[in-house]
Structures are given as structure tokens and as C-alpha cells.
Chains A and B, each alone.
Chain A
């Protein structure tokens, strides 16, 4: 819930800061919604593994005979269900407030649905790497946000192409490819990072 409130507030700050002319808002809408989603997804990352790390649950999970990647997938899926999915579902409402046309809204939701799982996967890897490090939150921002950039570029690009009357298919294809790649590689990377954290 806090994630959603944060998301709505970020989106509400932009019209206050840069003016409320409808053409301007429609122009920046997709980008603002994407940046808001990215920051909101980032906000809940520090707590992804830290409580389990502190109370020893993580150690039990790593020691258990079941593959660690499976348990990691569950954690990442939980993160996406509690941040990425609500952000995606809320995006049309914000898009309407920014005056986006219906086809752009649909494209924005499609791009967010493909892109936010990548954010959860990459962010999970960064959260696992930063476990037990000094300067937690700021360090995590320095690790995660540069890795989020390609997702942001292609995600906002899809809605932008749609509103410019071009095909958004290449952007969505790249996002889909990124999602497949991230889903295949990052659970193992997160598992390795957790093992490093517990050494």
C-alpha cells in the first residue's frame, strides 16, 4: 500500500512542478509513470532479503535440500505481486490524469506488465548483493538504478512510439527478450549472491 501511495504522490508532484498544460502532460505522461514505477519498485527492495537475513531464515533456506533458485523465484514473485502488479494496474488511472489516449494507455500497461518483472528480478539480485553491506539504501540505489536504465528506455519508448503513430512492437519484443533473459539468469545469480552473503 505504501508503495502505491508513493507512486501516486510522485506522479502528482510532476504537474505541480512543471505546469498543467494538457499537451505537455500528455507528452511527459509515459515517462513520469515509468520513473514513478521504477522508484516505487526500488523502494521495497532493501527489505526483500534483510529480515530473513537478520533472523536466520535465509540460512535455513540455503541449507535446505531444495534448490535455492526455486525459493528465490518465490521471493521475487512476491515482490512483483506486491509492487509491480499493483503499479501496472494503477497506471491507466494515472495515464488518464495525464490525458493519455486509450491506445497509449493500453501500450503503457503492456510495457509495464513486461518490464516490472525485470525490475523485480534485477533489483532482487542487487538487494542480495548488498546484504550486510555498509551504507545499505544508498549503495542499493547506486547498484540497481543503472541496471534499470535499459528497461526504462524500452518501456517508455513503447508508449512514446505508440503516441507518435509508430509501431511499438520492437520495444515490446526487446522487453520480452529482456524478461526471458532475466528470468533464466537472475534466480541463479541471486542464489549465488545469497550464498556469498552467508559465507
Chain B
């Protein structure tokens, strides 16, 4: 078996085209079930009332914002080490989705904070580091698009992604290192302090967000491939047949 078969943009284009609808469909089904569990099955929280229900979007979005940055840095490393065009395009395709999830996490957090903490925003360690993550995504996107030669943008932004990864542990451990307003984590590897249906709803939504992120990245990557490979024979053949 040739492990690098799909690392060529032309073969990956077809694969991504077949996989993306599957991931979008999975995301829709998981989100439907997850939202049903979250809104109709999960009980009202003892201390936060109904307002806690935003965790079904907030927590998965926050997880995805960090996870996607990690994946982005991994693809960046691959593109630098192996000089692979496809890895660089995947890194670029992930960045807007990551920025979107970071924004959702901040925005939904603000609407959660108002009823439970009495304020939309505090300069708390986790909130601030998540805001810095949003600017890291913006910086990555801006640098990737700031060069006339796209390959230079690929390499420079990949290096920036690797440097920026030092921020991830700071976000992840901020609720343990600083004892500030943001509550500690309710989900640990050893178990959870949440009601089981709440946890189920959250995990379903997390998988829905994950599947959506994969589908969106694959779709965006297809567009990038067409844009970059516009002069190759297989893209022209594709245009003729379409």
C-alpha cells in the first residue's frame, strides 16, 4: 500500500470531495441528537439554572479552538519538514474554522458570564489567553496571505504556528494555575462531576463540532487546491468535463 497516495493534491481533491459530505452529514446528525439531549433530556442545573445550557456549544467550541490550533501546528510542521504542499494547504484550510470556534467560545462565554458571573467580560487568565489565541489565528491568516509567493506564505506561517503553540498549555492549565473567576474543569480523564445526560449532550456536541471542522476544512482545502493548481492538466480536464 502506498501511504503517500493521497498526499498529491489531485488525488486528495477527489478523496476530500467524497469525504466532506459524509462529515457534514455526521455533524448534522450528531448536532441534532446533541441539541435534543441538551435542551430536552438534560436536567436543569442546581446552581446555574437554565443558563448553563450554553455549555453544549461553549465547551465544544473552546475544545475545538485549542485542538484545531494544535492540528494546524502539526500540519505546519509537516509542511516545513517534508516540504509538502498538501499539508500547507490543510493548515491554511483549518485556520478560519479555528478562528471561528475561538470566536464562538469567547462570544458564548460572554453570554454565559452575564447571568452567572454578573459580567460579560473579566480580564481573567483563561479568557485573556483565549483572546490571545484568537489573535494568533488572525496573525497566522494575515501572515499566510501577506506574500506574493504563496509557498513563502506557507512556510513563514507554518513557522509562526509552531512558535505560537507555547500559548496552548497556558490556556489549558490557566484554570489550575490561576484561581480566578472562570470555573475549574468539570470533565477529567478520571470522570466527571456533571450529570450523565449533561455530559452525553456535551460529548455529542463536541463530536458534531469536530465533524463540522473536518468537513469545512476539507471543503476549503478543495477550493485552495483548485486555486493553486489552476494551470495543471487535471484541473483543466475537470473544468472541461464540468
Q: Chain A residues near B135: list those with CB within 8 A.
A: 142, 145-146
Residue A125 CB within 8 A of the other chain:
yes
A175: min CB distance to chain B, Å: 14
Is the CB–CB distance between A192 and B132 below 8 Å?
A: no
Q: Which residue of B lies closest to A143 (CB)?
A: B139
A196: min CB distance to chain B, Å: 4
Known contacts A142-B139, A146-B136; A193 and B156 CB within 8 A of each other: yes
Contact of B159 among A122, A129, A135, A147 (CB under 8 A): A129
Residue A67 CB within 8 A of the other chain:
no
Distance of A142 Cα from B143 Cα, bound (Å): 9
Distance of A123 Cα from B81 Cα, bound (Å): 24
* Total number of B residues with any Cβ neighbor in A under 8 Å: 25
Interface residue SS majority, chain B: helix
Q: Which residue of A lies closest to B137 (CB)?
A: A146
Is the CB–CB distance between A196 and B156 below 8 Å?
A: yes
Interface size class of A (residues with CB under 8 A): 20 to 34
Query: 1/0 per residue B152-177: CB within 8 Å of A?
Result: 10011001101110110010000000
Contact of A196 among B136, B152, B167 (CB under 8 A): B152
Contact of A147 among B143, B155, B163 (CB under 8 A): B163
Is the CB–CB distance between B152 and A135 below 8 Å?
A: no
A106: min CB distance to chain B, Å: 25
A38: min CB distance to chain B, Å: 14
Contact of B146 among A134, A186, A189 (CB under 8 A): A134
Residue A159 CB within 8 A of the other chain:
no
Q: Chain B residues near A103: list those with CB within 8 A.
A: none
Is the CB–CB distance between A143 and B143 below 8 Å?
A: yes
Contact of B143 among A130, A145, A189, A199 (CB under 8 A): A130
A44: min CB distance to chain B, Å: 20
Distance of A130 Cα from B141 Cα, bound (Å): 13
Q: Chain A residues near B147: list those with CB within 8 A.
A: 132-134
Residue B142 CB within 8 A of the other chain:
yes
Residue B138 CB within 8 A of the other chain:
yes
Q: Chain A residues near B152: list those with CB within 8 A.
A: 132, 196-197, 199
Residue A139 CB within 8 A of the other chain:
yes
Is the CB–CB distance between B163 and A146 below 8 Å?
A: no
Is the CB–CB distance between A189 and B159 below 8 Å?
A: yes
Distance of A143 Cα from B142 Cα, bound (Å): 9
Contact of B142 among A139, A186, A196 (CB under 8 A): A139
Q: Which residue of B lies closest to A157 (CB)?
A: B178
Q: Which of B104-135 contact A (CB under 8 A)?
A: 128-129, 132, 135
Contact of A142 among B138, B148, B163 (CB under 8 A): B138
25 sampled A-B residue pairs with Cβ under 8 A: A125-B159, A129-B143, A129-B159, A129-B160, A132-B152, A133-B146, A133-B147, A135-B146, A142-B142, A143-B139, A143-B142, A143-B143, A145-B135, A146-B132, A146-B136, A146-B139, A146-B167, A147-B163, A149-B129, A150-B166, A189-B159, A189-B163, A192-B80, A196-B155, A196-B156
Q: Which 6 A-B pairs have the closest CB atoms?
A: A133-B146, A146-B135, A196-B155, A142-B139, A143-B139, A146-B132
Interface residues in chain B, defined as those with a beta carbon under 8 Å from any beta carbon in chain A: 80, 128-129, 132, 135-136, 138-139, 142-143, 146-148, 151-152, 155-156, 159-160, 162-164, 166-167, 170
Interface residues in chain A, defined as those with a beta carbon under 8 Å from any beta carbon in chain B: 122, 125-126, 129-130, 132-135, 139, 142-143, 145-147, 149-150, 186, 189, 192-193, 196-197, 199
